[in-house]
Structures are given as C-alpha cells and as structure tokens.
C-alpha cells in the first residue's frame, strides 16, 4: 500500500511543477495542490525537536503603517508563506507582498498594493492568508488577490507588477460577475490556486448583509499570462442553468454570497479544481430564497480550463447555520478494502468529514439523508432532511443535550441547565428561532479555515477542531432598514457557561486522527490546557488538559505540529503522529495565528509561521542549533 502511495506522490510532484520545485520547497498554501500540508522532510524529529530555536524574525511592513495610523490596525497575522528555492513569499494583512530570504529572513523586495488606502475591508477587516506562485520554467509570477477586490500579478524576482497582466499588473475583481456590485462588500482573503495557466479565485463577501440583494460568490478562472477572465462558474445558477429551480421565486436573480472565502484544491493531472462554497445571503433566515439553494454549502468539482461542472455534493440543503465549507478539501490517494481510490475529503464546521472519489463524486462510504427538525419561523421552510456520512464518525460534539453539559460539580451542572433552558436546543441542524437556538458546533466550527493535514504514507487525516456553541436568535426586520423579514439579533450571540467556564463538557479544542483507509478514528487528544487553571481555581481537582483552539496543522515525515495561544502562553507543539502524545513544546514570542509550514535550505530544515498582530506582526523561522 505504501509503495503505491509513494509512487503516486513522486509522480505528482515531478509532473505538476517546473523542475526547480523540489520536496524541500513549499510552493502552494497547503504545500501541494491537494492541500495535504505534508512534507517528507525528517531532519527535525522526536529526538531533537525540543531544541528548536528561532533562526530569524521578519517584521511585517504593516507595523510601521499601523503605528502611524492605529485605525488601520489588523487582526491576527494569518499568512502561510510559500517557499521556492531560497525565497519565501508572503502577503500581509494590509496588502503588502514580500519576498524574504529563507535562511536569514532579510527582505528581498516588497510591493505595496495600497489596499489599506480604501479603508477597512468587509467582515474581518485587514486579514489576508496567502499568495499563489506560477512558473512556466522560465518566467515566475506571484499572484495576489486583495481585500479591496483586485488581482495583482508580480514578477517573482523583482516584485514589480507585470504590465502585460490586466491594467498595468492589476485586474478589477468587481468586474465580470454579471451584476454591478459594491466593492466595499466584496473582498478576497485566501490564496488562489494555479491549475496550468489558469488562476482560480474565490471571494469573501459581507457576512452581515443589509438586504437580500448582495454580490454573488461566483468562482472564476483567469488567464495567468494576460489576466483575462477565461470562465465563470455560477455558484448561484442563472436562468435555465442546472440547479436554478432550487432557488424558488426567482431568488437566483438577487441572492448573493454562496462564495468560496477559504482555500481551493486541485488535481492537476485530471485538470480539476475543487470548490468549497458557503451559505447564501442571510446566514440564518432563508424565507426569501426557498429551496435547496444549489450550489451553496457544496463541494463542486470543476474543469479548471473551462469552469464546467464535473460533479457536486451539497452538504447543507437550504443552509440556516452559517455552516460554510470552511477549508480547502484534501486530496488523497487511498486504498479502501483493497481498492485504490483517488479521493477528496472535505472537513466541515458541523464536524463531519465527507469523502468522495474525486474523479466521479461517488461517496467512499454511504451518505444518508436523515430527517431533521422543521423551522417554526414564519415564512421559513427548512429542508426535511440533511446528509449524514456513515463514515467517518463526527470529530467533534454535535447538537446539545443535557448529557453534553458541564458536570465538574453538581452545582455547575445545575447552573448550566438553567442557562440552556432560556433557549431552544437539540440535535444537529436544529433551526434558528425567535426564542434563540443553541448551535453546536457554532459558526466557527467544528473545523474551520485552517483545515486538516494528510499523511500519504499512513492514510491518516489529522483534524483540529473546537467546540464553541453559539446562540442564534432571530428578530423581525424593520422595513425601513431592510427587506429581510427576519435577521439575526445581536442581543445574544455567544453562549457562556457558569463561572466563566464553557457550557459543555470538555474537550473544548481537540485533534482527531482518522484512518482514511478504514474511516475509523485512531486517536483523539485535547489540544492544550484550555480553561484547566480556571477549573482548578474553583477548588476542583485537576481535570488535565481541556483543550482550546489553535492554528492549522503541518505534517512532516516524523511529527505533527500545531501552534496555540491560550492567553498566557504562545507555543508550538510537536505531537507523536501515532498516539497524539506531546513530544515537545516550544515557546513563541507572540501569539500564533497562521498555519505553519516547513522547508529545507542548504541541508537545514526550518519551520516558519506568522505570529502577532497590530503593531507587531512577524514571520519567524525555527530550526535546530
């Protein structure tokens, strides 16, 4: 089995890129178009990982601008660098692009897209996660989509815009969507993906829409050499297209969102790109868009040259939970019951992994449509069923029952019961209500944008997740302010448990290892201490690690790495891949937010990641002494 996988991996690496790309590089956001976040590098292992030290630290050019104008303060720095040869390529939260020496952290060049000059972008504000790299063996380009809805092509050697691309190196992403849209509602925060000479680009669209008319999240393919829009795939089907009948009352004409705000994956050999879409306009009420709403909250396989749909699977029918597909799907070559399968797996906010044959869309294990609760909100019509995978089992808590509530002491449990009695609650897919409904998982997952990592040697998928219940309470829309009949009330959103603790039993953040050859969970461990000390301070016996959220994973030949900021400590942890045991914990100078990556230069292996925010955002690289 391993020899089959190794041959496929070697073939893939040698045929997808120019010869100057090697296993020592990290050429895409997830290291390969299949977003495995895996590298075969093995110099750093269990015997020496505790000795890791910071080799260099690179300060973001954002820092100086934020010091001059604190109104431009960005959120956590979330980029994952690319590495080709001896150079790293990064974006910054305010919209710079930079090339950095991989061994020293010295700046080679920077380019300022001046994104910040257009003011604070939609949703999470100044927030950017990565760029794409393209080469034809002679020319090299860095592709940067921005928070203010432009796409730049830069010379990878000099950082200068390419005047043969678009208008002096820039394409306006608000043009070509089939509607006139408000630029302030449209953005791009995630790295695009290169498939041959096509760049596939998603979008981030305002998540708190004022009205039902919003920009559509259609996915597009651009010619990397010229910047011309080669194709558009309508995530909201237009007139006479397949799926348009799932948008009743001509809702397809005005509905928006249904966008791909997260990463994309591709099978370059097949020429397919895999598109994980989000919720349509208004995350919580859909009375104005009755029907299943294809291709919302779906995994869609497209021909990357033409944009033609090859297959799709909808994970949520008529979504009302903000259960966007949150991460790039993971491509994997599996052996299941003795059969070789080219697969794709999608982790979700609702804590399922959906696995398919990536060429045909056939589920690897049966997926069953099961009845779910109906809405009681006037004008709403929920789907009577939702799809539940038979394998793998859910990797995090789903729904809320009394047995899920915190029970360190009888008093805490009694207080938790009183809190949840104020709201509706029940199994997964309990719909929003006017009283307020507890969603578990909440809109941040389950899994989120950092996704999972896959080991091609062992068929193991490693999924970080969090348990963050939220309350969704609907209110009637004011017709003088909105044309929504109902929208989410801001009076109640988070769900705090008694004594400042979470409402549910732990773990509150976890890592789950799943054998994708069998669909079985192999191990699960809490990720970090979480509120452990708070529990002890209440006079309760030490419960051990309770878990919390963290960064995305990176896998090497020998170890699994994730970083975490728990409010007191900023750490990078190395885990034994076979057991989940913490092998080492390395202190970091600032809070980590970006998913780490690993590379090798001149015989030395490095781990690099984005840390910090505000006036101190950095890239750091760690290596052995």
**Could you give the CA distance from residue 82 to residue 89 in angstroms, rounded to a whole number?**
5
**What is residue 569's predicted lDDT score, i.e. its pLDDT?**
87
What is the predicted pLDDT for the residue at 226? 98
Is 8 a residue whose pLDDT tops 70? no
In angstroms, rounded to a whole number, what is the distance separating the alpha carbons of residues 284 and 321?
Answer: 6
Count other C-beta atoms under 10 Å from residue 489's C-beta.
Answer: 16
User: Which of the 8 DSSP states describes residue 277?
Assistant: -
**Domain carrying residue 272:** 2-623
Any residues with CB less than 8 A from the CB of 111 and at least 6 apart, and which?
96, 97, 98, 152, 154, 159, 160, 161
C-alpha 280/C-alpha 257 separation (Å) is 5
pLDDT, tens digit, for every residue of 159-211?
A: 999 999 999 999 999 999 999 999 999 999 999 999 999 999 999 999 999 99
pLDDT score for 20: 75
**17 pLDDT higher than 90:** no
Provide the number of structural domains found in the chain.
1
Residue 494 is given by DSSP the state: B
Residue 2 has pLDDT above 50, yes or no: no
103 contact partners, CB below 8 Å, separation of at least 6:
55, 56, 86, 601, 602, 604
Mean pLDDT of 377-401: 98
Q: Tell me the CATH number at 590.
A: 2.140.10.10
pLDDT band of residue 18 (cuts 50, 70, 90) is: low
pLDDT for res 11: 35
Q: What is the pLDDT of residues 508-556, one digit of tens each?
A: 999 999 999 999 999 999 999 999 999 999 999 999 999 999 999 999 9
The Cα 258–Cα 298 span in angstroms is: 9
Q: Report how far apart, in Å, the C-alpha atoms of 167 and of each of 21, 97, 116, 172, 521 are.
A: 30, 18, 20, 9, 51
Percent residues over pLDDT 70 in the chain:
97
Q: Rounded distance, CA 188 to CA 171, Å?
A: 13
pLDDT band for position 12 (cuts 50, 70, 90): very low
Averaged pLDDT for residues 466-493:
93
Residue 75: the pLDDT is 87
| Most distant CA pair in the chain, distance | 69
pLDDT of residue 494: 80
Take residue 81 and report the two structure tokens written for it: 């660098």
Tokens at 602, concatenated = 């001149």
pLDDT of the residue at 124: 87
pLDDT at 566: 77
| b/e burial code for range 441-478 (CB count within 10 A of at least 16 → b) | bbbebbbbbbbbbbbbebbbbbbbbbbbbbbbbbeebe
Q: Identify the band that residue 1 occupies on the pLDDT scale cut at 50, 70 and 90.
A: very low
Task: Map 471-490 to HEC letters.
Answer: EEEEEECCCCCCCCCEEECC
Tell me what pLDDT residue 19 has. 59
Q: Which two tokens stand for residue 101?
A: 């020496």
């Amino acid at each position: 089995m391993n020899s089959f996988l190794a041959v496929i991996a070697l073939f893939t690496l040698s045929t997808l890129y120019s010869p100057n790309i090697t296993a020592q590089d990290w050429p895409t956001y997830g290291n390969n178009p299949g977003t495995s976040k895996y590298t075969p590098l093995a110099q750093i292992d269990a015997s020496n990982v505790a000795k890791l030290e910071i080799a260099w630290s690179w300060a973001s050019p954002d820092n100086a601008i934020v010091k001059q104008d604190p109104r431009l303060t960005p959120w956590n720095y979330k980029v994952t660098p690319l590495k080709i040869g001896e150079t790293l390529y990064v974006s910054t939260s305010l919209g710079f692009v930079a090339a950095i020496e991989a061994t020293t952290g010295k700046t080679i060049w920077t380019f300022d897209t001046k994104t910040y000059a257009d003011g604070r972008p939609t949703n999470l504000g100044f927030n950017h996660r990565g760029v794409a790299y393209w080469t034809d063996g002679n020319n090299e380009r860095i592709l940067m989509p921005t928070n203010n809805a432009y796409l730049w092509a830069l010379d990878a050697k000099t950082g200068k815009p390419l005047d043969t691309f678009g208008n002096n190196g820039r394409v306006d992403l608000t043009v070509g969507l089939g509607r006139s849209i408000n630029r302030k509602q449209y953005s791009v925060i995630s790295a695009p993906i290169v498939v041959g000479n096509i760049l596939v680009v998603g979008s981030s669209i305002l998540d708190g829409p004022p009205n039902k008319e919003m920009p559509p999240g259609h996915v597009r393919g651009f010619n990397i050499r010229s910047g011309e829009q080669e194709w558009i795939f309508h995530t909201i089907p237009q007139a006479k297209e397949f799926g348009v009948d799932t948008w009743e009352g001509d809702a397809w004409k005005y509905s928006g969102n249904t966008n791909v705000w997260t990463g994309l994956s591709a099978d370059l050999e097949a020429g397919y790109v895999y598109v994980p879409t989000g919720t349509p306009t208004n995350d919580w009420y859909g009375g104005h868009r009755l029907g299943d709403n294809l291709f919302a909250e779906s995994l869609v396989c497209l021909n990357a040259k033409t944009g033609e749909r090859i297959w799709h699977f909808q994970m949520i029918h008529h979504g009302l939970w903000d259960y966007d597909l949150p991460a790039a799907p993971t491509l994997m070559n599996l052996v299941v019951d003795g059969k070789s399968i080219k697969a794709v797996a999608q982790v979700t906010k609702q804590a399922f992994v959906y696995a398919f044959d990536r060429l045909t869309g056939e589920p690897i294990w049966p997926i069953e449509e099961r009845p779910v609760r109906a809405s009681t909100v006037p004008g709403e019509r929920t789907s009577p069923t939702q799809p539940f995978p038979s394998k793998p089992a859910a990797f995090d808590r789903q729904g809320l029952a009394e047995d899920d509530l915190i029970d360190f002491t009888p008093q805490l449990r009694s207080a938790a019961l009183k809190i949840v009695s104020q709201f509706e609650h029940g199994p997964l897919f309990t719909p929003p209500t006017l009283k307020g409904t507890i969603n578990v998982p909440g809109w941040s997952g389950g899994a989120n944008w950092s996704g999972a990592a896959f080991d091609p040697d062992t068929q193991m998928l490693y999924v970080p997740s969090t348990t963050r219940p939220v309350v969704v309470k609907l209110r009637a829309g004011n017709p003088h302010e909105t044309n929504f009949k109902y929208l989410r009330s801001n009076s109640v959103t988070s769900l705090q448990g008694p004594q400042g603790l979470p409402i549910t039993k732990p773990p509150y953040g976890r890592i789950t290892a799943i054998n994708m050859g069998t669909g079985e969970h192999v191990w699960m461990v809490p990720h970090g201490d979480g509120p452990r000390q708070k529990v002890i301070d209440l006079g309760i016996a030490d419960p051990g690690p309770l878990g919390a959220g963290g960064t995305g994973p990176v896998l090497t030949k020998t170890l699994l790495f994730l970083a975490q900021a728990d409010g007191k400590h900023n750490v990078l942890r190395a885990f034994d891949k076979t057991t989940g045991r913490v092998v080492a914990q390395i202190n970091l100078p600032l809070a980590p937010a970006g998913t780490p990556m690993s590379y090798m230069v001149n015989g030395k292996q490095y781990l690099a990641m984005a840390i910090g925010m505000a006036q101190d955002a950095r890239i750091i690289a760690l290596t052995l002494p």
